[in-house]
Each structure stands twice: as C-alpha cells, then as structure tokens.
Chain A
Amino acid sequence: MEAYLKYYDLFELPPEATIEEIYKVYAYLKALYTGDAMETTALNTDFSEDLLQDYLSRLDDAYEQLKLLLETKKPALTKKTDVMDEGLSDWIKSIACFSGSALKTVRERMGVDLNDIFAVSRIQPHYLEDIENEHFSSFRAEVFLRSYLIEYTRFLSLDSQKVLADYLPRYRKSQGQA
C-alpha cells in the first residue's frame, strides 16, 4: 500500500478517492499541461520539454497503477475463499463465538493483511485494528461498527449475520456501561 501513496500524492487526493475522482483529476492535469495555459506559458524556459515528458509519464503511470489497484485487484482480493483449505474452513465452522481476537486469528490464517481489506473496503486500517482489539470507544455509533464489520466479514467470506450476532452484544454492553 505504501507504494501507492505516492500515486495518490501526485493527484493530491486522499487514499479514499474513487477511481472516478482520480480520473477527473488525471484528465484535468493532463489538459492543463498539454494545453497552452497561461500558468505554464508564463514559466517560459522553465517549462521544458524534458520535465514535461517526465511529468506526463509519471501522471500516466500513477493513473494506470491506481486503476489496476482499484479495479482489477478488487475481485481478485475478495475471493479469499480460494485460499481457504478444508482444514481452515472446518476450523472456522467450529468457532463458537466471533470475538475480535477470533476474527484476527481467521484473518491471519488466511494470510490477509489489514491493508488488503483497506484497499477494497476503504476502511482505515486503524479501525480494522480496533475491531480486532475490541477497542469499542473508537466507534461513536453502532451503525459505523456494523457497516465496518459487514465489509470485514465479506472480505474474508465469513457469515456476516453470525459474526454480527456474536460481536455486537459486547459492543452494546460496553456502551451501556459508559
């Protein structure tokens, strides 16, 4: 994921940006630097052909890379069931209660990184960590936690309803006490 940040930086967009947003900025910058805008004309000799070509190719590259990340990678990454061997799926079935630490164990046994989940769900990794550590105070309202949990379980191909039923009562209890 780190490697992609420099592409987002080039567009000055946050990692939450959608591919449509990225495309708009990409098209905008491309038009700016290939048209004869006064902002570039006024640079005179500093607007050199070398620098321009270098910039445009970095722009193209960044757009292509992010497109790959956001479009192609998505279905590939969500199919985590592919890597689920029989032992693993039996073991998951045997889990009586999906606590945060149980979720973490499942994820790690699947070899999934939090950044992989982030790349598809756009949920910041620190929230995913808070789910796993049952750090409930990070979630201001149940709706947030709920939607995050659904994304999380969908990514790992777990039974969302079962996980929610196991997990949310502990959150509610902590809110009741607060």
Chain B
Amino acid sequence: MDTPEKHCKIWAVGGGKGGTGKSFITSSTGTCLALKGSKTILLDADLGGANLHSFFGLNKPRYSLADFFEKKIPLQDIMVQSGVANLGLITGSIGSLDSESINFAQKQKLFRHIRALDADHILIDLGAGTHINTLDTFLLADRMIVVTVPEITALENMYQFIKSVYFRKMKFIFKTYDLNTTIQDTWKNRASHNIRSLKDLITHLRESSEYIRDIFDREISGFVVHIVLNQVRTTRDILVGENLKSACMNFLGLKVVYAGYCRQDEAVHENINNKEPFLIFNRISPVVKEIKTLTDNIITGTHLSVRKDLVNGSLSQIL
C-alpha cells in the first residue's frame, strides 16, 4: 500500500445542475484543507465557465490546461498561487477537456501528471452537466463530491448525475472483465426481464450469476458519492441531505454519504464581490464552521449525523 504522504488524494466536485455552488464549495473546502497545513491544488475543469480564480480575487491566469495538452507545458508551471498559503490553482479552458480534443488515454495521462504533483490534496471543480468526460473524470477521483441545493430541480439533476456516474462505473468494470455485452444485452432486453430502473438492473445482474455478484461486491460495493447540500435556508432543508441518503439507498440501491451542509448567507456573495477568499476574510459567518465540518467529514468519509437531533427534537435550534 502507498503511504498517505506519497499519494495525493484527488477530490472531484460535480453535480448535474449549474449554479448550486460547486465552485464556492471547491474553493472553500480547498482553503480549509490548506489552512490545516495540507498542500492543496485546485484544478478548474469547468470548460465553459472557469471562474475558480474569481473566488480568490485573481484575474484569469495566463496559462491553462490547454497549454499542457498542446504545448506540453508542465502542470507545475501552469499553476498559480491563490494567495492563500499552501494553495495553488490550475485553470482549465474551453477545449481542454472536451470530447473532441481529448481522448481517454490523454485523460489518463493528465491524471498521472496530476497525481505526480507535489500536493496532499487536489480538488477538481468539474462544472455542471453529465458529459461523458465529466463522468469519467469524476470516477477517477478518490472522493466523489456532489453539490446540490434543496430544490426539486436540483435534486432531479443530482439523482440523474449519480445514476449516470454509477452506470458508467458499472460499464467500465464489466468491460475489464470482458462482460461488456452482458450489460448491453440485459439492458436491450430489459422489458422481458422486467427491468424498469437502474436498481432493477443491478438486482438482475447480481442475481444472474455468482461470478457477477462477486464482481459487484469486490469492485462496485465501495462506490460512494458524498453529498454537500448548499444554500440551506430552513431546518427542514438540513434534513433533505438525510432524506436523500435514505432515498438513494432504498430507491436507487446506491450508497451516498451526507457530508454536510452550508446555509445561504449573503456574506458569501459579498466576499466574492469584494475579491476576498471567503474562509480567510470571514470570521463570523456560521458557514465557516459548516465548511470545516463538511471538509472533515469528507476526509474521513463520515456522515453528518442529524439522526440523533431528529430523535431528541433538538434540530429546531440549529437554524
């Protein structure tokens, strides 16, 4: 096994819907890790709208990932300092990660170079959407983080995103076992197998043979997505994360960890507009503590525990 010092941890932040706060969460959890003394690099892989630099009051950096692919400029040289100690930033740009200009092999090469960077944590802001490249990058990470908000449209996109990621993972694993036709055939004949959902498909495949069940247990059962609930306004909103965990398990058959929430706070907005990194300049907003909690939970893979508060009725005092 690799020692943790030698191996940097890659966190990928995604989620179907735009504007939920992926870039805010990436920049502030990254800052939180850096403040803890962990050497951290943020990688902005949002193609259409790379804006992670704005969260640090920086102008758009001169070099981007496109220069890594096209001019072979080392990642280390593309990186700029964020202004926060221990925290570097690498910017993406249009064309650098989209399907036309980059294939799977190149993406793997990028990941090799990312892992070779001198850092303890690399956080990738993937932007919105469920493009195949986004899903693949998400899957290559050690921690998969989805940012959503307590609104029905955002939740729909989130479920869709998690299902797409899982399906992609399943296909990928089956391919390595030379079973790619199994999934395709099963899905094509889903009507005759009475398969109506991803959960049905998983159940069907698991029950089809002991060999396949073994593959699931060995390769896919460890698959977990971490959920961060942003822009929470009420106590009921906090429970949405808890409910999503339950719903994912019971209706999608997928494991998620509710890592934490951040409330909606005007201060976030103001700090960005004043070109001040939120976590550095803000000492009063309760969001600071919430970011710390969720960062710790992601590091350790721990659930935010609201079940106890739910049981003793103390939740009403939180917000």
Contact = CB atoms under 8 A, between A and B. Distances in A.
Contact of A24 (B151, B156, B310): B310
B307 A55 contact: no
Interface of B: 150-152, 155-156, 158-159, 196-199, 240, 243-244, 246-247, 250-252, 307, 310-312
Contact of B307 (A12, A42, A44): A12
B247 to A, nearest CB: 5
Given A25-B311, A39-B240, A42-B159, A32 B246 contact: yes
B36 to A, nearest CB: 29
A8 B311 CA distance: 14
Given A32-B243, A38-B152, A51-B199, A46 B251 contact: yes
A38 B159 contact: no
Nearest to A24: B311
Interface of A: 12-13, 17, 21, 24-25, 28-29, 32, 37-48, 51, 55
Contacts of A28: 310
Contacts of A42: 152, 155-156, 158-159
B159 A43 contact: yes
Among B158, B244, B246: residue with most chain A CB under 10 A = B246
B197 A39 contact: no
Given A38-B240, A39-B240, A39-B247, A46 B156 contact: no
Contacts of A38: 150-152, 155, 240
Among A21, A41, A51: residue with most chain B CB under 10 A = A51
Given A38-B151, A46-B251, A47-B251, 15 more contacts: A12-B307, A13-B311, A17-B311, A21-B311, A21-B312, A25-B311, A38-B240, A39-B155, A42-B152, A42-B155, A44-B159, A48-B196, A48-B197, A48-B251, A55-B250
Contacts of B155: 38-39, 42
Nearest to A40: B247
Given A37-B243, A51-B250, A51-B251, A46 B310 contact: no
Nearest 5 pairs of A and B residues by beta carbon = A42-B155, A39-B243, A38-B152, A42-B156, A21-B311
A44 B156 contact: yes
Contacts of B197: 45-46, 48
Contacts of A55: 250-251
Nearest to A18: B311
A46 B159 contact: yes
5 contacts: A25-B310, A25-B311, A42-B155, A42-B159, A46-B251
Contacts of A17: 311
A55 B249 CA distance: 11
Given A43-B251, A45-B197, A47-B251, A29 B156 contact: no
A28 to B, nearest CB: 6
A25 B250 contact: no
A46 B311 contact: no
Contacts of A37: 243
Nearest to B305: A12
A64 B246 CA distance: 20
A18 to B, nearest CB: 9
Contacts of A29: 246
Nearest to A22: B311
A133 to B, nearest CB: 32
A40 B248 CA distance: 10
Contacts of A13: 307, 311
A143 to B, nearest CB: 24
Contacts of A24: 310-311
B198 to A, nearest CB: 7
Contacts of B251: 40, 43, 46-48, 51, 55
Contacts of B159: 42-44, 46
A160 to B, nearest CB: 31
Contacts of B152: 38, 41-42
Contacts of B310: 24-25, 28
A175 B257 CA distance: 43
Among A29, A41, A47: residue with most chain B CB under 10 A = A47
A175 to B, nearest CB: 33
Contacts of B307: 12-13, 25
Contacts of B243: 32, 37, 39
A46 B151 contact: no
Contacts of B156: 42, 44
B240 A46 contact: no
B198 A46 contact: yes
Contacts of B250: 51, 55
